[in-house]
Structure 1
C-alpha cells in the first residue's frame, strides 16, 4: 500500500455568538466527528478536553488506510462573554438593542446589507420587527382591557403584563434576547472594543505567533464561523503585527472564514479599526484565505467578496467558494433543518452526512491542506477513495504547501 502520509495540523477556531460552554462544544465536536468518520470511511480518536480561561483544547488523530493526521484543536473561548451578557435583564437589554439598531442604520450598515445581500438585511431587521410586533400586541391588549374595564389604569396594567409575558415566552423561543445581545455586542465591539476579549485575543495572538516561529506543525489553520470570523480576523491581524513574517516559512497559515459575518461589522462606517485589520490580513500574501458561503444561510453574505464590498484594495484574497448545504446532508435531515436558520447556519461547523466539496471536519482532520481542498472543484471528494484512502494523485499531502492555487471568486 506504500508509505503512510503523516500530517500535523494546529487549528484555532473562533465560533459565532452562540452561548455554548466548552464542555458542550466538546460533546458536539465528538458527535459530529463520528458523522465525519462514517461519511468518509475514516477512523478518528479524540482526547479529553483541556479547558483553560482563554482556550479549550483537545487532540484528534484521524486516519485512512494510507494517511494519518494529528490535529491540535484550540477553541478560543468567548462563551463567558456571551453568558455574562445573557444575564442582563430585559429592561436594560431593550434600550441598548434599540440604540444598536439606530447606530447601525445611521452608520449606513443597513443600506450596505441591502446592497450586498437582502437576506442579511432581513436577518438584521428580524429581531427589531419581532419586538415591534410584540409591543403592538401588548398595546392592543391594553386597549381592549381599558375598554372592557372602563379604566385606563387597568388597561395599562394589562398591557404591561401582556408585554412581560410575551417577552418571557414567545420572544425567547424566537431568539429575541440572543439576537438583541448579538447586536449590542457588535455595536460595542465597533465603538470601543471589549474589555475581556481584547486582552484575550492579544494573548492568543502571542501564542499563535510563537507557535508559528517554533514550528512543529505542517499547517496552522485559523477558522472563524459567523461573528467568530470577525474575531478571527482580529486575531490574525494582531499576530501579524507581532510577527509580520508569520507564515512565510513552514508552517504555512490558512484562514477559513465560514458562513461569516465580516460585512456585518465591515459595512458600519465606524468600523475603521476592523477594516484596517481586514486589509492587513488580505494583503498578507503568505496567508491563504478561503471564504465559504451558502445561499440558504441568511446569516452570511452569499456571493460577496468581503474585501471588495468594504471598498478595500484588491489583493486576490479571499478565495470565495459557494457551498450547497442541501448536498451536505441527507434529504430527511435537510427537511428538518431548512426552516430553522440557526441550524442551517451551524451546518458549516457540523459533520456532513454526504461527501461534499465543503466539509468542516475534512478541513480540520483530512490529509489535504485547506489550499488544496479549495483548489479542487470537488474539495476532497476525488482525492479520498471509498475506503478512506488517499488516492495516488494526492498521496504526497505535504507537497500542496508549495503549490498555491490562484485566487478567484
Structure 2
C-alpha cells in the first residue's frame, strides 16, 4: 500500500436547511471523527484548509494514507433570509403550504409512503395551531378581566396579551423547532416544488466548485448531501454531467437522510424529477443513498427515483443502504438517542459505537472511492420502490 502513495479526495458537503454557520460542521467532524477513530482503531487528524471557501483538511491513516479537502457549499444565508417572516408571515406560510400539499394530493400519497417524516411535517402545523388557540384563550381571559376599562381599551389589552403569547412562543423556538420547520417546508413550496431563482443561482456556483475540484488532480471528488442538501445535490450533479461528463477523478454522490419526496411529489417539481431520472442511469458517477428507519425526519429506505415515479428501465442508482441505527448503535446509546429526533437526523455525520459498512469518516477520509467501498453491495432488502408521486412529468 505504501507504494501506491497517498490517496487524495475532495469532499463537497451540501448542508440541509440550516441557518447556522458552516463552522458547526467542522466542529462536528472534529469531535465525532475522533470518537469514531478511537472506536474503530484508525487515525484522523484535522487541519486548517487554505482557500476562499470554508472547509478543513483531513489526514487519515486507515491502511493506506489518505488526505481529504472538505469544503462546505454554503447556502445558510439564503436560509436565514427565508426565515425572517415574523409571526403573521409564518401563519400565512402555514396556510399556503398546507393548502398546496392537500390540494395537490401530495400529502395523501406521502402518508402512504412513510408515516415518520409526515408526523415531523405535521408537527409545526399542529403546534402553530395550538399556539394560536392558547393566545386566543389568553385574549378572551384578558377581555373578560378588563371589561370595566373605558373607551374599548379592553379589546386593545386582549389583543396585546394574545400577541405577547405568540411572541413568547416564537422566542423559545430554539427549543421547539416549530417556526424553523415551518420555514423549511414553506421554502420548499414557495414555487410549488420548483427552485427559486436565488437558489438556482447558488446551485450554479456549487456546480462550478465541483467542476474545479474535478480538475484539481485528486483521486476522487465526493459530493455529500444531507437532508435538503440531498435533492440539491441531485440537481447540481445532473446539470454538471449534462454540461460535460466529468473526466479524471472518480465522482461519488452520498445522499444522507434524504426527504426527496417532500419536493418531488409537488406539482412544479418537474426539474427535480427530471434530474432524478437522469442521474439514476448515469455511468459518470456512483450514487449511494443512506437512510435509517430510526430517523423520523427522512424517508427511510425509499428509493427517491422509484417512489417519484420516474425510474427509467435502465436505472442504476441510487444504491439504497440502511444505516440501521438499532444495530450500529449499542442498546445503551440507542436508548439515549432514540427520542432525540433532530439529533438522530444528524447521526449519519456522527460516530457509531457498533459500525457496520457505513462509516462517514472512512468514506470521506479513507483510501477507497465510494464505488470501491460499495462494490458488490446489494440494496437493503426492505427498500421501498412503489411509485406514489401524483405528478410524473419531468423537465
**TM beyond 0.5:** yes
Alpha-carbon offset, residue 5 of structure 1: 6.0
- Judge conservation of contact 1:206–1:242 (CA < 8 Å) in 2: no
1:99 to 83, 96, 101: 96
Partner of residue 273, structure 2: 275
| Cα-to-partner distance string for 1:274-319 (whole Å, 9 max, x where unaligned) | 1111112112123211111111111111231111111113313111
Partner of residue 335, structure 1: 335
1:261 to 259, 264, 267: 259
The runs of 5 or more residues in structure 2 that have no matched partner are 149-153, 384-395
Q: What is the aligned length?
A: 374
Alpha-carbon offset, residue 360 of structure 1: 1.2
| Between 139-148 and 292-301, the greater mean CA deviation after superposition | 139-148
Partner of residue 10, structure 1: 10
Alpha-carbon offset, residue 359 of structure 1: 1.5
Alpha-carbon offset, residue 372 of structure 1: 3.3
Cα 1:269/1:87, change in 2 over 3 Å = closer
Cα 1:37/1:189, change in 2 over 3 Å = farther
Cα 1:313/1:324, change in 2 over 3 Å = closer
Cα 1:127/1:50, change in 2 over 3 Å = farther
Q: Distance in 2 between matches of 1:176 and 1:93?
A: 10
| Cα-to-partner distance string for 1:240-289 (whole Å, 9 max, x where unaligned) | 1221x22xx54221111111111111111221111111112112123211
Q: Distance in 1 between matches of 2:6 and 2:80?
A: 39
Q: Distance in 1 between matches of 2:349 and 2:50?
A: 20
Determine whether 1:21 maps to 2:60.
Answer: no
Determine whether 1:201 maps to 2:203.
Answer: yes
Cα 1:20/1:328, change in 2 over 3 Å = farther
Partner of residue 386, structure 1: none
- Judge conservation of contact 1:4–1:68 (CA < 8 Å) in 2: no
Cα 1:88/1:235, change in 2 over 3 Å = same
Q: Secondary structure at the match of 2:190?
A: helix
Q: Distance in 2 between matches of 1:110 and 1:72?
A: 40
Partner of residue 111, structure 1: 108
Partner of residue 231, structure 1: 232
| Cα-to-partner distance string for 1:122-142 (whole Å, 9 max, x where unaligned) | 111110011111111222222
Q: Secondary structure at the match of 1:63?
A: strand
Alpha-carbon offset, residue 215 of structure 1: 5.7
Alpha-carbon offset, residue 114 of structure 1: 0.7
| Between 279-288 and 196-205, the greater mean CA deviation after superposition | 196-205
Partner of residue 139, structure 1: 136
Q: Secondary structure at the match of 1:296?
A: coil
| Between 33-42 and 226-235, the greater mean CA deviation after superposition | 33-42
Cα 1:2/1:167, change in 2 over 3 Å = closer
Any residues of structure 2 matched to 1:341-360 within 5 Å, and which? 341-360=341-360
- Judge conservation of contact 1:108–1:269 (CA < 8 Å) in 2: no
Q: Distance in 1 between matches of 2:84 and 2:304?
A: 33
The runs of 5 or more residues in structure 1 that have no matched partner are 378-404
Q: Distance in 2 between matches of 1:26 and 1:167?
A: 29
Q: Secondary structure at the match of 1:47?
A: strand
Alpha-carbon offset, residue 237 of structure 1: 1.5
Alpha-carbon offset, residue 195 of structure 1: 4.1
Q: Distance in 2 between matches of 1:27 and 1:172?
A: 20
Determine whether 1:30 maps to 2:30.
Answer: yes
- Judge conservation of contact 2:241–2:284 (CA < 8 Å) in 1: no
Alpha-carbon offset, residue 38 of structure 1: 0.8
Cα 1:228/1:46, change in 2 over 3 Å = same
Taking structure 2 as the reference length, the TM-score comes to: 0.86
Cα 1:159/1:309, change in 2 over 3 Å = same
Alpha-carbon offset, residue 96 of structure 1: 2.4
Q: Distance in 1 between matches of 2:240 and 2:353?
A: 36
Cα 1:317/1:192, change in 2 over 3 Å = closer
